[in-house]
Amino acid sequence: MNEKKEKILSESPDKKLNSLSLSELESLKQNYFSYLKLEKSYSSNTIDAYRRDLNRLFTFCLNNDTMPQDLIPPQLHAYSESLHGLVDSRSQARILSGMRSFFKFMLLEKMIDTNPASYIDSPKIGVHLPDVLTVEEIDRMESCIDLSKKEGHRNLAIIEVLYGCGLRVSELCNLKLSDLYLEEGFIKVFGKGSKERLVPISPRAVECLNHYFIDRNTWAILPDYTDYVFITVRRHPKNIGRIMVFHLIKELADKAGLQKDVSPHTLRHSFATHLLAGGASLRAIQAMLGHESIETTEIYTHIDKHRLREEILMHHPRNIKK
């Protein structure tokens, strides 16, 4: 421990923050974000979420005249309690998870000897069952695509690849031509943490891609984006963005008259749910979705049970209203 740090820690709490400049606080944050990016391989969007949550923790430190590395469990309990009423339980769980990650980082950097956040419990949140589309509803969305338009076959291919491969929207936007092994029936996907996985692709999705490629080959794509699969149809075409895909899915769901909250992730949920209903194992679904933990994949057993209950209530003779 250097002399400057020893001096800071020896001072009274109300002087600690006066002795540590904002630039040093900023340096602590930047070192943490570099760790998330370089060692954890988190995406920019994930790091932005961690940044917002860390700023909340730092505000708590400023209000309590203490440094992050000097926080003790009672203070962290107070911080956890302060979140009640401000955000919902799911957001609380995310914020506290980010806090634990930050203290693990400080422990790795030997800024603290023990992790005071180890015993801070997250609020219990119920199982959220996302909306799932039927095959017929997906077909209705696809039937709303005008294939005579320049982007028509591209949009159809987007739906088929999202649903047929169970991709995250960011994985779809970053998919490269060099990642496609269509003759072998696979695509290579880089998921969270730049983890690579091979995902089977259906003959229907391959057919849609090949139709789209006929149109794509006529576009003057910017040099840096020629390897991306899904391209915009603007004056200077480049790879499609997440927001554009969100708008496309919402628009098609509205045109199809679907009374569900539909997003690109809905197609991923539908992919996994239909696989499970068709007899696929959870381990296989976990591998195709790129889930790090099997517990994340197990939500689809809840969805399946929920749908099974609906089927029983609708069709069992004891439940049919006469």
What pLDDT is recorded for position 65? 81
Q: For residue 114, is it left (φ>0), alpha (ψ between -120 and 50) or beta?
A: beta
Which CATH fold topology does 135-315 show?
A: hpI Integrase; Chain A (1.10.443)
Comparison of pLDDT for 19 and 74, the residue scoring more = 74
Distance of CA 105 to the CA centre of its chain: 22
User: For residue 8, what are the contacts with CB-CB under 8 A and spacing of at least 6?
Assistant: 16, 19, 20, 67
Strands 180-181 and 186-190: antiparallel
Q: Is the pLDDT score of 102 beyond 60?
A: yes
Looking at the chain, the whole-number percentage of residues with pLDDT higher than 90 is 39
For 228, the token pair is: 């991306």
Q: Kindly indicate the confidence band of residue 296, based on its pLDDT and cuts at 50, 70 and 90.
A: low
User: For residue 249, what are the contacts with CB-CB under 8 A and spacing of at least 6?
Assistant: 141, 159, 162, 262, 263, 264, 266, 267
Q: Kindly indicate the confidence band of residue 191, based on its pLDDT and cuts at 50, 70 and 90.
A: confident
For 185, the token pair is: 């029936």
Q: Is the pLDDT score of 7 beyond 50?
A: no
Q: What is the 3-state secondary structure (H, E, C) of the chain?
A: CCHHHHHHHHCCHHHHHHHCCHHHHHHHHHHHHHHHHHCCCCCHHHHHHHHHHHHHHHHHHHHCCCCHHHCCHHHHHHHHHHCECCECHHHHHHHHHHHHHHHHHHHHCCCCCCCCCCCCCCCCCCCCCCCCCCHHHHHHHHHCCCCCCCCHHHHHHHHHHHHHHCCCHHHHHCCEHHHEECCCCEEEEECHHHCEEEEECCHHHHHHHHHHHHHHCCCCCCHHHCCECCECCCCCCCECCHHHHHHHHHHHHHHCCCCCCCCHHHHHHHHHHHHHHCCCCHHHHHHHHCCCCHHHHCHHHHHHHHHHHHHHHHHCCCCCCC
What pLDDT is recorded for position 2? 40
What pLDDT is recorded for position 173? 94
Every domain of the chain with CATH number 1.10.443.10 lies at 135-315
Comparison of pLDDT for 195 and 232, the residue scoring more = 232
Q: Is-contact 30 48, C-beta < 8 A?
A: no
Q: Is the pLDDT score of 160 beyond 90?
A: yes
Mean pLDDT of 180-189: 93
pLDDT in tens, 210-260: 999 999 999 999 999 999 999 999 888 999 999 999 999 999 999 999 989
User: For residue 300, what are the contacts with CB-CB under 8 A and spacing of at least 6?
Assistant: 269, 272, 273, 276, 282, 285
How many CA within 13 A on the CB side of residue 154?
22
For 65, the token pair is: 């005249």
Q: Which residues are catalytic?
A: 168, 192, 265, 268, 291, 300
What pLDDT is recorded for position 314? 59
